[in-house]
Structure 1
């Protein structure tokens, strides 16, 4: 396999961009194909909490100078200040959340960053290598390389390696694994929201879970991260993520792609009886940024094995989609990017054995993360996946 052929990357998500950053620093050519028209084409979610493992992976890829700029964009919340509250009474629970639940990662702090800021840093230097409006629907192997096939029937240049990083509906993952890689629809739905810092004054600094057990179909909860240093900045919005048992959050026509007032109205309806301490988070939300999302999960028993193809592999949600419980999805995805990027650098490009080594290691930590995420979601959202009967996303 020629080292002059680029690495082809399907999807321009966070893991793909971090992998591209790693390849650029290693002098390995690459091309990214993204189905959207730009980074702002659709809702991307608000904020991510970062684990210790994720921060180490990101630091490894970015290097000291760029990582410092990334670190400066991160918010740091006192990890000792995390609590769960009853949404109706306003009362706190006696038992504190564990540090593992809130991903305390460095210096006793919960470290988080807006997805947009994260994407901006990861994409630095790679923008000219992204081809927009290119939806990858499969691939074909050549004598000594691979080509991506697009939705319009055209094909990419020949690459040395194709990396499927296009998320839970990855056609690359489906083809590569022979259908073994599956993403299940748990039936649960969520809503992302943002509100001005003034709405959070009643909470103070910390990571908070606000839980409502009064809905007939099951529990509903919001998690939010309130950073003290940003509290008095009127230009900053804090975000929250709402999730619930299946049947509690009902997008119109079950269309989880809806963004805006309809999502905001559903959030307000579900929280109309909440305690005055928490109501401002919903009442003052930025309607245009409200968005539904679908809670999905890969095979709970672990990342399956498939015959290794040296010229094709997968990263991120294409390999191991997770529920939001435990906050592990993006944190595991950046570990994929760092690992695959390192192996390619050490090999001097796509050489035999690279994808096999990557997949062996990824299956171990990826399977552990999916299992932890699923077990937490069973408790928090009341979901249950039957690998024989639960519907998949496509």
Structure 2
């Protein structure tokens, strides 16, 4: 296959952009197709915690200057484990996941970065290769290449490889796997929120779980990372995420796409009996930024196999969606980007055997990550996925 044909990438999320960055450094042409109108078209979600593996994958791909810019943007927080509090009494308690999850990823620090910041840094130098408002609905193979198909009925230029990186509703994933890749609705829901740093003064620096076991429908918890050096600056916002057992957080009409006041009102209602130490996190909530989210997961049994297609493959949530319980989703996605980018660079472009080698290695670490994420979510949220009976998202 000619390396002059570009690698086509569906979606402009963090995995896709990191892969594009890798291709750019290798001199391999590429095009990115994103259904949104811009990077700020939708909310970017909660701050991401980076594992040692995720951080190493990012460092492998970025040039030294870009990695320094990325590293400088990351927050570094002391504390290698969660500190857990009882939301109602304010007392510290033994964490349900204490000892099960090491948080520090480098130099004894918990390293995190906002998803939006990560996307902007990864996109540096790649912006001219992004086509906005281009929703990929599938693909067609040509004699020696592939074309992406768009929702408006048009087709892309011919590429050497199509990489489906457009998330849990990936049409590329469904077509490539013949329907074997499924994403399950766990029934659990969450809320993202943010507040001025001054609202977090009662916690101090660290990574915290504030858990409430008094709700009649089940327990729920708020998780936040309080970084040093910014607690006295009211212009800075820290984020938190609330997650719950199925049936506790109830978006109106179960519409998890709702943002703003309805999400803020549910958060206020759930936490009305919380200890004064934690009330500022909710009372000072930036109402327009509050958002519901649906907790989904790929098959706990692991990434399934499908007949390899040398000209099409998948990265990120398109192939292995995870619950947020173990913080592994984004970290596994960037490992995909580093691995696939390295194999393409070593082969000098899309050559026979590249996607097969990538998928073989990816299935091992991604299946382990999905299993760990699901097991942690079972303990935290009380969810259970029956792969024969549980409703799929897509």
In the TM superposition, what is the alpha-carbon distance from 1:80 to its structure 2 partner?
4.4
1:82 and 2:82 equivalent?
yes
Partner Cα separation in structure 1 for residue 250 and residue 95 of structure 2? 31
Q: Paired residues, what number?
A: 394
**1:208 matched to which residue of 2?**
208
TM-score, scaled to structure 2: 0.98
Compare 193-202 and 227-236 and name the one that shifted more. 227-236
Q: Deviations over 1:267-307 (max 9, x none)?
A: 11111110000111011011111111000000000000000
**1:55 matched to which residue of 2?**
55
Q: Deviations over 1:59-93 (max 9, x none)?
A: 00002221111000000000247310000100111
Compare 282-291 and 162-171 and name the one that shifted more. 282-291
Partner Cα separation in structure 2 for residue 6 and residue 84 of structure 1? 49
Question: Is the CA contact 2:10–2:136 (under 8 Å) kept in the aligned structure 1?
Answer: yes
**2:277 matched to which residue of 1?**
277
Partner Cα separation in structure 2 for residue 221 and residue 54 of structure 1? 25
Q: Deviations over 1:335-384 (max 9, x none)?
A: 00000000000000000000000000000000000000000000100100
Q: Deviations over 1:126-182 (max 9, x none)?
A: 111111111000000000000000011110000000000000000000000000010
In the TM superposition, what is the alpha-carbon distance from 1:24 to its structure 2 partner?
0.4
In the TM superposition, what is the alpha-carbon distance from 1:117 to its structure 2 partner?
1.0
**2:364 matched to which residue of 1?**
364
Secondary structure of residue in 1 paired with 2:44: coil
1:346 and 2:346 equivalent?
yes
Question: Is the CA contact 1:260–1:291 (under 8 Å) kept in the aligned structure 2?
Answer: yes
Question: Is the CA contact 1:210–1:223 (under 8 Å) kept in the aligned structure 2?
Answer: yes
**2:161 matched to which residue of 1?**
161
Question: Is the CA contact 1:102–1:207 (under 8 Å) kept in the aligned structure 2?
Answer: no
Partner Cα separation in structure 1 for residue 182 and residue 82 of structure 2? 34
Partner Cα separation in structure 2 for residue 106 and residue 376 of structure 1? 23
Compare 56-65 and 79-88 and name the one that shifted more. 79-88
**2:374 matched to which residue of 1?**
374
Partner Cα separation in structure 2 for residue 132 and residue 263 of structure 1? 29
In the TM superposition, what is the alpha-carbon distance from 1:124 to its structure 2 partner?
0.2
**1:34 matched to which residue of 2?**
34
Compare 371-380 and 58-67 and name the one that shifted more. 58-67
Give the alignment of 1:1-394 within 5 angstroms: 1-80=1-80, 82-94=82-94, 98=98, 101=101, 103-394=103-394
Partner Cα separation in structure 2 for residue 81 and residue 125 of structure 1? 37
Does the C-alpha gap of structure 1 residues 334 and 80 become closer, same or farther in structure 2, counting only changes over 3 Å? closer
Secondary structure of residue in 2 paired with 1:264: helix
Partner Cα separation in structure 2 for residue 22 and residue 340 of structure 1? 9
Secondary structure of residue in 1 paired with 2:159: coil
Partner Cα separation in structure 2 for residue 39 and residue 342 of structure 1? 26
Question: Is the CA contact 2:81–2:98 (under 8 Å) kept in the aligned structure 1?
Answer: no
In the TM superposition, what is the alpha-carbon distance from 1:103 to its structure 2 partner?
2.1
Does the C-alpha gap of structure 1 residues 96 and 186 become closer, same or farther in structure 2, counting only changes over 3 Å? closer
Q: Deviations over 1:241-274 (max 9, x none)?
A: 1000001000011111111111111111111110
Compare 334-343 and 100-109 and name the one that shifted more. 100-109
Partner Cα separation in structure 1 for residue 132 and residue 280 of structure 2? 39
Secondary structure of residue in 1 paired with 2:309: coil
In the TM superposition, what is the alpha-carbon distance from 1:186 to its structure 2 partner?
0.5
Question: Is the CA contact 1:43–1:259 (under 8 Å) kept in the aligned structure 2?
Answer: no
Partner Cα separation in structure 2 for residue 136 and residue 73 of structure 1? 32
Secondary structure of residue in 2 paired with 1:209: strand
Question: Is the CA contact 2:78–2:108 (under 8 Å) kept in the aligned structure 1?
Answer: yes
Structure 2: gaps (5+ residues): none
Partner Cα separation in structure 2 for residue 274 and residue 233 of structure 1? 25
